[in-house]
Amino acid sequence: MTISIREYAPADLAALRACFIALQDAVRVYEPRLRPGGEIVDEYHAVVQKRCAEQAGAIFLADAQGEVVGYVTVLARVPYEELDDPPGEYAYVMDLYVHESLRGQGIGRALLARAEAHARTQGASELRIGALAGNVGARELYLGFGFAPQLEILSKAL
C-alpha cells in the first residue's frame, strides 16, 4: 500500500471528522472520563481550525489511494503562557492519529516528519507533543522519533 502525506483541503472534511471521532474514542480507553468523539466533533473541528489560523497551524492527512488513514495537526507558533516559561513560542503537535489496522507501518512517523517540516518552515525551534501515560504505543513512537520527556503531570482521584 502506498501512503502519501498531503495537506488537508475542505473536501476532506468528512474523512477528517471520522478521524477526529476515532482518535477521541481511542484515547477514551486510557481516560474514560473523556467525552465520546461524536459528541465533540463539530466543536473540536472549529477549535482546531481557529487555532491553526491563529498559530500558523496545518493539518496533514495520510492518504492511501484516496482513502484518509490518519492525520496530524501541528501548530507552529504557540506562545509560552506561564510566568516561569521561557520567552517566545514553540510548535505543538495537537493531534496524531493513524487507523488502528495500519499502525506500526511508519505512517505515524511520516505524519510526524511532515509536522516537523511545517514547524521548521515557520521558524519553530522546539516541537512538543503530549501523550496519555497509559498510551504506551504512542509514547514509544514519540520517543523513537526523538522527543524526550520534559514535564510529567501526575493525577490523583479524590
Burial group, residue 148, by CB count within 10 angstroms (0-12, 13-18, 19+): exposed
- With a CB cutoff of 8 Å and minimum separation 6, the contacts of 114 are 5, 60, 72
Task: Delimit the domains of the chain by residue range.
Answer: 3-144
Residue by residue, pLDDT tens for the chain (158 residues) are 799 999 999 999 999 999 999 999 999 999 999 999 999 999 999 999 999 999 999 999 999 999 999 999 999 999 999 999 899 999 999 999 999 999 999 999 999 999 999 999 999 999 999 999 999 999 999 999 999 999 888 888 89
Coil vs helix vs strand at 109: helix
pLDDT of the residue at 110:
97
Which CATH code is given to the segment(s) 3-144? Answer: 3.40.630.30
Cell of 108: 505515524
The pTM assigned to this predicted structure is: 0.94
